């Protein structure tokens, strides 16, 4: 299968320390080995030529901790990427608060990065200590101040997004509003707000299981609702269930995923999905999570391959589509899959329309902000 204009995801699976709630694939290390960057470049070059890439729709450095890459490594990677972008390509770089300083932000801007997403999670000291975030409360607040100053100077050419989590240990409805207030007062144009999901195998899960930490799961959703309402009342639009932005500041990269478009994944543990030209089936590859093997064998690392059949692709399309505020357009769905949306969702959507939790307008089937809370139930019903 070929793809000319996919999104590009680059995975940097290294973190100085592990946060206790995190189950993302990353290993503990203080720096990114040059060998890893060389392996990334090999895979990138190989795939650009194999897929006959013309331009990347968007580029996303995620992790792990991309801000652990040193300047030479970042420049080196971008040298191989920028020829396949243009001035409109969103190039996002995930940063840890600990790594933020004016010089680093300026460097990122100079070398072609035009958006950073920063993992704040919370400013609450007790929560930060409990989940073992690398940045202290002081460093997190300092980072946000630097980001705010930087944004006020360069807002025409540089975008900033902050990530928060509701329902962390020691977090309350009061602290979540205090957290978001800082982001809102600084007018950051994009905020992601996730409710904590307790993942088995994480140290936090174990501590809660062993009653070392008090935790009430229902608080995560209650706090999330408070946070969501606060953001909606302050001019942000919930364009996806966990993502809030001022109009025009939505993440292009993530929105591309949610429309079930092609994306390449580069790096150990990275996932890539390429759809057939008719969009009805696809192939998903997950690169090996053995970093040493990845380095040794790049660009031919042992990827796990999954064939996505027709049903999987259209169900994923519905799953991601309904999470967005625009929902799913029945004409787009018919044009791509040749089946009627109404036949798939039957009367299960109507139920929410009757409860004023969802709407059908100009062939768009979408959940209203309050209806988003029923989304999981709806998806379970149609699956």
Element (H, E) at 106: helix 102-111
Give the residue, chosen from 7, 10, 12, 15, that forms a contact with ligand SF4 under the rule CB under 6 A: 15
Q: Is 284 within 8 Å of 308 (Cβ atoms)? A: yes
26 binds ligand SF4 (CB under 6 A): yes
Binding range to ligand SF4, per CB under 6 A, among 57-65, 165-173, 229-237, 320-328 = 57-65
String marking each residue 135-174 x if it binds ligand SF4 according to CB under 6 A: ----------------------------------------
CB of 381 to ligand SF4, least distance (A): 32
Give the residue, chosen from 10, 19, 184, 328, that forms a contact with ligand SF4 under the rule CB under 6 A: 19
Whichever of 17 and 49 has its CB closer to ligand SF4, that residue is: 17
CB of 64 to ligand SF4, least distance (A): 5
Whichever of 20 and 298 has its CB closer to ligand SF4, that residue is: 20
CB of 119 to ligand SF4, least distance (A): 6
Binding range to ligand SF4, per CB under 6 A, among 12-20, 219-227, 277-285, 351-359 = 12-20
Separation between Cα atoms, residue 8 and residue 265, nearest integer Å = 6
Output the CA torsion 18→95→189→184 (10° steps): 50
Q: Is 303 within 8 Å of 318 (Cβ atoms)? A: no
Report the SS3 class of residue 161: strand
Separation between Cα atoms, residue 26 and residue 268, nearest integer Å = 9
Whichever of 26 and 73 has its CB closer to ligand SF4, that residue is: 26
Whichever of 95 and 372 has its CB closer to ligand SF4, that residue is: 95
Separation between Cα atoms, residue 105 and residue 276, nearest integer Å = 39
CB of 161 to ligand SF4, least distance (A): 15
Separation between Cα atoms, residue 319 and residue 327, nearest integer Å = 10
Residues 200-229 that bind ligand SF4 (CB under 6 A): none
Closest CA to 183 of 233, 147, 226, 154: 147
Residues 73-112 that bind ligand SF4 (CB under 6 A): 96
Binding range to ligand SF4, per CB under 6 A, among 61-69, 155-163, 222-230, 295-303 = 61-69
Cis peptide before 64 (omega within 30 of 0): yes
CB of 362 to ligand SF4, least distance (A): 39
Q: In sequence order, what are the residues at sequence separation of 6 or more whose Cβ sits closer than 8 angstroms to the Cβ of residue 211?
A: none
CB of 63 to ligand SF4, least distance (A): 5
Give the orientation angle of helix 137-154 with respect to helix 102-111, to 10 degrees: 40
Whichever of 43 and 99 has its CB closer to ligand SF4, that residue is: 99
Q: In sequence order, what are the residues at sequence separation of 6 or more whose Cβ sits closer than 8 angstroms to the Cβ of residue 22?
A: 202
**Could you tell me where the DSSP H helices lie in 118-237?**
125-130, 137-154, 173-185, 203-209, 217-233
Give the residue, chosen from 119, 169, 227, 321, that forms a contact with ligand SF4 under the rule CB under 6 A: 119
Separation between Cα atoms, residue 148 and residue 127, nearest integer Å = 23
Separation between Cα atoms, residue 136 and residue 134, nearest integer Å = 7
Distance of CA 336 to the CA centre of its chain: 25
Tell me the residue number closest to ligand SF4, measured at CB.
Answer: 22
Whichever of 160 and 225 has its CB closer to ligand SF4, that residue is: 160
Give the residue, chosen from 5, 24, 336, 369, that forms a contact with ligand SF4 under the rule CB under 6 A: 24
Whichever of 112 and 119 has its CB closer to ligand SF4, that residue is: 119
Partner residues linked to 273 by β-bridges: 263, 284
Residues forming contacts to ligand SF4 in the complex (CB under 6 A) are: 15, 18-19, 22, 24, 26, 63-65, 96, 119
């Amino acid at each position: 299968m070929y793809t000319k204009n996919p999104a590009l995801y680059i995975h940097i699976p290294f973190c100085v320390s592990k946060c206790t709630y995190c189950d993302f694939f990353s290993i503990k290390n203080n720096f990114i080995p040059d060998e890893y960057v060389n392996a990334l470049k090999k895979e990138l070059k190989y795939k650009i030529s194999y897929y006959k890439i013309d331009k990347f729709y968007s580029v996303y450095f995620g992790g792990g901790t991309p801000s652990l890459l040193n300047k030479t490594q970042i420049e080196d990677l971008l040298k191989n990427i920028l020829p396949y972008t243009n001035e409109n390509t969103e190039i996002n770089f995930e940063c840890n608060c600990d790594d933020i300083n004016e010089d680093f932000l300026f460097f990122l801007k100079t070398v072609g990065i035009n958006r950073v997403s920063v993992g704040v999670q919370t400013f609450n000291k007790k929560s930060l200590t409990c989940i073992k975030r690398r940045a202290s409360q002081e460093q997190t607040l300092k980072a946000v101040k630097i980001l705010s100053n930087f944004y006020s100077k360069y807002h025409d050419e540089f975008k900033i997004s902050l990530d928060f989590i509701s329902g962390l240990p020691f977090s309350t409805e009061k602290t979540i509003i205090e957290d978001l207030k800082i982001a809102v007062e600084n007018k950051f144009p994009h905020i992601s707000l996730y409710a904590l999901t307790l993942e088995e195998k994480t140290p936090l899960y174990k501590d809660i299981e062993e009653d070392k930490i008090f935790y009430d799961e229902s608080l995560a959703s209650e706090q999330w609702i408070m946070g969501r309402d606060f953001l909606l009342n302050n001019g942000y639009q919930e364009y996806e269930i966990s993502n809030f932005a001022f109009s025009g500041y939505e993440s292009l990269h993530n929105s591309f995923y949610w429309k079930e478009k092609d994306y390449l994944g580069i790096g150990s543990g990275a996932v890539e999905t390429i759809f057939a030209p008719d969009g009805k089936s696809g192939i998903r590859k997950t690169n090996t999570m053995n970093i040493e093997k990845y380095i040794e064998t790049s660009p031919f690392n042992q990827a796990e391959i999954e064939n996505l059949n027709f049903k999987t692709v259209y169900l994923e399309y519905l799953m991601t589509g309904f999470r967005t505020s625009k929902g799913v357009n029945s004409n787009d769905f018919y044009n791509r899959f040749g089946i009627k949306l109404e036949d798939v969702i039957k009367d299960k959507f109507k139920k929410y329309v009757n409860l004023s939790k969802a709407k059908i307008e100009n062939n768009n089937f979408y959940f209203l902000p309050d209806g988003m809370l029923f989304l999981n139930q709806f998806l379970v019903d149609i699956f």
